[in-house]
Amino acid sequence: MADYTLRVRRFDPEQTSGPYWQEFAVELEPHRSVLDAILTAKEELDGSLGIRCSCRAAICGSCGVRVNGRPALACNTHLRDATDAGPAADGSTATVTVEPMGNMPVLKDLIVDMDAVHWKKIHRVTPWLLNRRPVPEREYVVPHEDMVDVTQTMACIQCGACVSDCLSMEVDPEFVGPAAAAKAYRFVGDPRDAEQRQRLRDLAEDPHGIYDCTHCFMCIDACPKGVAPMSQIMRLRRISGSDHQIVDRNNGERHEEAFTTLVRDYGLLHEAELLPRSYGGNSWFGKFHPAAGLELVDSLPSIARAVARRKVKPTQALRGHRLARRDLDAVHAIFERVEGDARRHELNLYLSGVEEEAPAP
């Protein structure tokens, strides 16, 4: 048994006092969960402490909270880990800080309004199967791997932990967000769905869709079920741009194409070209496209500043650095061989796992 101070951010909507912190002293074994600590406080000290919970086993998705500033399920976070890990803890005290999840309005204590944010976004991705026709008499015959693959996103328990700390959503509340994007992949990756192209087009064209993800990995770390929403978003982009050639109005696909082409041509990134091409199209002429022109004017101050500060030489800005010939040849050979494959080859660690003899990461 060990003593813990459970520090809870509370909020009672029926009082005018606003949120406040309250501490509870609980005694529990270190391998017990943060939820056990919360429930101990609730059962023994204050029955009005609000928390959603049901399964206690990380499967119902009720108990998403922030523990020491990080999104998590209370029921699968050990007290031991909650006290010695993470940016907010210095390991010297056995204090566990619990707050409601972020990016969603708080209803009471640790309970947030999932409907207002999380479920609303789920609704945006047409979250049901649109059957491929004809519907077979028996089951759809589909590859084993595809079913295991979509099961990764099917494993999402809709807990909202990823939504809580999504950094794009923090600045753009309309962003479709990690959980809904993962849900979208669940259909895009499902060979039984008939509307993959339309789904992708919606996600790509939406200014707050898949190209609005800032690639911050928060959702990967937040997710208790290994759904890796960001990886699913990257796959959605890949399938959208490369398999369906969807050129979105958010410059997402163009940016990706431009980046890849520049690396192919120069071996290194050529920032001065990247910007105009992302807006205007993937060629040296891209910058003369009207959209690129507008954007260039818009970012001219930055570039002008860069030149003025002698960060960048005007000649270099135009030509860019590039690899030596023989290295460029090697890079080209790699591009040719890999991109020449009829089918993209992807190692999905979720399916393959890590080989036995591999050292722990």
Partner 1 sequence: MRVAYWPGCVSRGFTPELHGSMEAVAPLLGLELVPLDRAACCGAGVIAEHNQELADTLNARTFALAQQVDGAELMMNICSTCQGAQSECQERLDANSAYRARVNATLDDAEPGLRYEKGLTNKNLLWLLVEELGLDALRAKVRRPLTNLRVGPFYGCYIVRPRARLGIDAEHPRDRYLHQVIETLGGTVIDYAGTYKCCGFPIVTMNKTASLRQAGTHLGDATDAEADCLVVPCPLCHLNLDLQQPQAAKVVGRPLAMPVLHLPQLLGLALGLEPKQLGMSKHVVKPTAVIDWSAAVVAAPAPA
Partner 2 sequence: MPAHDVLIIGAGLAGQRAALAAAQAGASVAIVSKVHPVRSHSVAAAGGINAALNPGDSWESHAFDTVKGSDYLGDQDAIEIMCRAAPDEILWLEHAGVTFHRDEAGRLGTRAFGGASAARTYYVADITGQAILHVLYEQLMKHHERVDRFEEWFTTELVQDDGGRCCGAIARDVRSGHLDAFRAKAVVLASGGAGQVFRPTTNALICTGDGMAQAYRIGAPLMDMEMIQYHPTTLAENGFLITEGARGEGAQLFNARGERFMERYAPNKLELASRDVVCRAEQTEIDEGRGFPDGTIALDITKVPRKRTLEALREIVNIGRDFAGVDITREPIHIKPGMHYIMGGVRAGTDGRTPVPGLYAVGEVACVSVHGGNRLGANSLLDTLIFGRRAGEHAAHHAVGLPMPRIEAARLRDAQAEIDALVARVPAPGSRRISHLKRELGETMNRYVAVYRDAAGLATAHEVVRRLKEEAPRAAIDDRGAVFNQDVLAAFELGYMLDVAEAIVLAAQERRESRGAQFRVDYPRRDDAGWLHHITVSRNGQEVPRTGTEPVAITRWQPQERTY
Restricted to residues 327-356, the positions that interact with partner 2 (CB under 8 A) are 351, 353, 356
Please confirm whether the linkage preceding 134 is cis (ω < 30° from 0).
yes
Q: Choose the one of ligand SF4, partner 1, partner 2, none that binds residue 268, judging by a C-beta under 5 to 8 angstroms depending on kind.
A: partner 1
State which residue, 214 or 260, has the beta carbon closest to ligand SF4. Answer: 214
Q: Which of residues 296-325 bind partner 2 (CB under 8 A)?
A: none
Query: What residues from 170 to 209 belong to the interface with ligand SF4 (CB under 6 A)?
Result: 178-179, 182
14 binds partner 2 (CB under 8 A): yes
The interface partner of residue 227, options being partner 1, ligand SF4, partner 2, none and the CB cut-off 5 to 8 Å by kind, is ligand SF4
Q: How many residues appear in the chain? A: 361
Which of residues 215 and 311 has its CB atom nearest to ligand SF4 in the complex? 215
Give the span between the Cα atoms of 222 and 31, in whole angstroms: 20
What residues from 74 to 113 belong to the interface with partner 2 (CB under 8 A)? 76, 78, 107-109, 111
Structure tokens at 260: 């890849």
The closest alpha carbon to 277, from 267, 200, 263, 327, belongs to 263
Token readout for 46 is 């204050």
Structure letter (DSSP) for residue 111:
E
Does residue 23 bind partner 2 (CB under 8 A)? Answer: no
Q: What torsion, rounded to 10 degrees, do the Cα atoms 210, 213, 218, 221 define?
A: 30
Tell me which residues in 16-35 interact with ligand FES (CB under 6 A): 35
User: What is the CA 350 to chain-centroid distance, rounded?
Assistant: 16
The two beta strands, 2-10 and 95-99, are parallel
Say which residue the tokens 């080209």 belong to. Answer: 332
* Largest CA-CA distance found in the chain, in angstroms, rounded: 73
Among partner 2, ligand SF4, ligand FES, none, residue 179 binds (CB under 5-8 Å by kind): ligand SF4
Handedness of CA 28, 32, 33, 35 (dihedral sign): negative
**Footprint of ligand SF4 (CB under 6 A):** 156-162, 166-168, 178-179, 182, 213-219, 222-223, 225, 227, 229-230, 233
**Footprint of partner 2 (CB under 8 A):** 12-14, 31, 42-44, 46-48, 50, 52-62, 76, 78, 107-109, 111, 114-115, 122-123, 127-129, 131, 135, 138-144, 147-148, 150-151, 154-155, 157-158, 190, 192, 226, 351, 353, 356
